[in-house]
Amino acid sequence: MISVDEAFDHVRRLAAALPSERTPLAELLGLRLAESVASSVDSPPFDKSMVDGYAIDVSDASPTLRELELVTAGNVPTETVVHGATVRVMTGAPIPAGADAVVKWEDCELLAEGEIRNPARGVKSGSCIIRRGSSFHAGQVVLEAGKRLGPLDIALLAEIGQAEVGVIARPRVAVLPTGDELVAAHEPLGPGQIRNSNGPMLLAAVAAADCTPIDLGVGCDDPDDLRTRINQGLANDVLLVSGGVSAGVKDLVPGILTELGVEEQFHQVRIKPGKPLWFGVRHANGRRTLVFGLPGNPVSTFVSFQLFVLPALRALAGGPFESAVAQRAVLAMPFEHRGKRPTYHPCRQSAPAAGGVLHVEPLDWRGSSDLATLTRATHLAALPAGDYQLVPGDAVEVIAL
């Protein structure tokens, strides 16, 4: 049995970013750039108007200006602004030659059709004009390698004409809950049966991590069935198997994984819940597959996913390999801890105290199968091993859910 930190280091060592691939704009959301992106154009590509108004020469002292033409966004001026003349422009339209400022239409006085009083007095050169290249120039890096792409980044890529870019591939994560006792949510329960909650939970957690979930169905406690399904899962970047990894007579998963070429890195972690956790890796056909054998109880599965699987998925997707972020909190009620393993105990946030200090209440948690209590939790309290009594006001480290 190894410590949480040792298990974490094993996973960190093998969770390297996946190869890059060219991906179109419509599929980029949430992915990380494999390389920096430079613009091939200036932005804006021409001097343009910030407002609807009249383009003028501020040095023009003529009392009135006649309108030469109207230029809307998407069109170009055909006239040059000379003294005694102006060009009406709409927002986003190019600035005509001879003009060095734009005055808002509402600040101009219309004298007759096609004629305005000269508004140049007090107007500064460059007013209401966005200059070419003022946002960025051709050749300038606009998005750095490693950037996780959001909607605005995708808009910027479209602006500079990048219809596809190189990004770290989205991890494909296969999910395989196991056990003869499992039935689907819509099926009636027979004697000794329980419903499959780990499968839907893991598929949802994988999707929430911006990875591609692959549903392998439910594996029976039968070597041939498990071998077939596990072999299918090994064609992906990560395989999550829940159940069958402890020490029971039907805990067949570790042996089958070894048979299929998965190299065990560790089995059993000094932690509660989640002690039976199994981790290994297979290198085959140019692919590296990380394999997590998660405990069968749903809370153990969830905690193991949060602590070990989620950081690995983020690293595979090109992000930093980081443990779950712990923050300081204080207990709002007494709590007694007993046990030889560090415990991640479900707790719930209560009202924050003065100064923004987080207060938490440990929940009445009944163990690894108590999924209902976990749904009411906002945090997991990381409690050291040992037998001790905590009182209100004692500091604890918590991980937000």
Sorted by where each starts, the structural domains of the chain and their CATH numbers stand as 4-19+170-316 (3.40.980.10), 29-40+139-168 (3.90.105.10), 48-130 (2.170.190.11), 326-400 (2.40.340.10)
- Residue 100 is predicted with a pLDDT of 97
- Residue 249 is predicted with a pLDDT of 60
Residues in the chain, how many?
Answer: 401
Q: Report the mean per-residue pLDDT for the chain.
A: 94
Q: SS3 sequence, 334-397?
A: CEEECCCCCEEEEEEEECCCHHHCEEEEECCCCCCCCHHHHHCCCEEEEECCCCEEECCCCEEE
- Residue 86 is predicted with a pLDDT of 98
Confidence of residue 250 (pLDDT cuts 50, 70, 90): low
In angstroms, the CA 306 to CA 323 distance is 9
Cβ atoms of 142 and 155 closer than 8 Å: no
Peptide bond into 273 cis (omega under 30): yes
- Interval 337-356 mean pLDDT: 87
Instruction: Return phi, psi of residue 101, to 5°.
Output: -165, 160
- Residue 351 is predicted with a pLDDT of 72
- Residue 245 is predicted with a pLDDT of 86
18-22, 207-211, 324-328, 387-391: least confidently modelled range: 324-328
Most distant pair of Cα atoms in the chain: their distance: 99
In angstroms, the CA 105 to CA 363 distance is 64
Confidence of residue 354 (pLDDT cuts 50, 70, 90): low
In angstroms, the CA 14 to CA 289 distance is 9
Bridging pattern class, strands 395-400 and 326-331: antiparallel
In angstroms, the CA 50 to CA 77 distance is 16
Confidence of residue 328 (pLDDT cuts 50, 70, 90): very high
Asked if pLDDT for residue 99 goes beyond 90, the answer is: yes
If phi > 0 it is left, if psi is from -120 to 50 it is alpha, else beta; for residue 268 that is left
Confidence of residue 154 (pLDDT cuts 50, 70, 90): very high
Task: Dump pLDDT digits (tens) for 111-139.
Answer: 999 999 999 999 999 999 999 999 999 99
Asked if pLDDT for residue 108 goes beyond 70, the answer is: yes
CA-wise closest residue to 311 among 209, 204, 169: 209
Peptide bond into 44 cis (omega under 30): yes
Asked if pLDDT for residue 246 goes beyond 80, the answer is: no
Asked if pLDDT for residue 75 goes beyond 90, the answer is: yes
More confident residue, 325 or 308: 308
Asked if pLDDT for residue 248 goes beyond 70, the answer is: no
Share above pLDDT 90 across residues of the chain, in percent, rounded to a whole number: 91
- Residue 47 is predicted with a pLDDT of 98
- Interval 256-281 mean pLDDT: 96
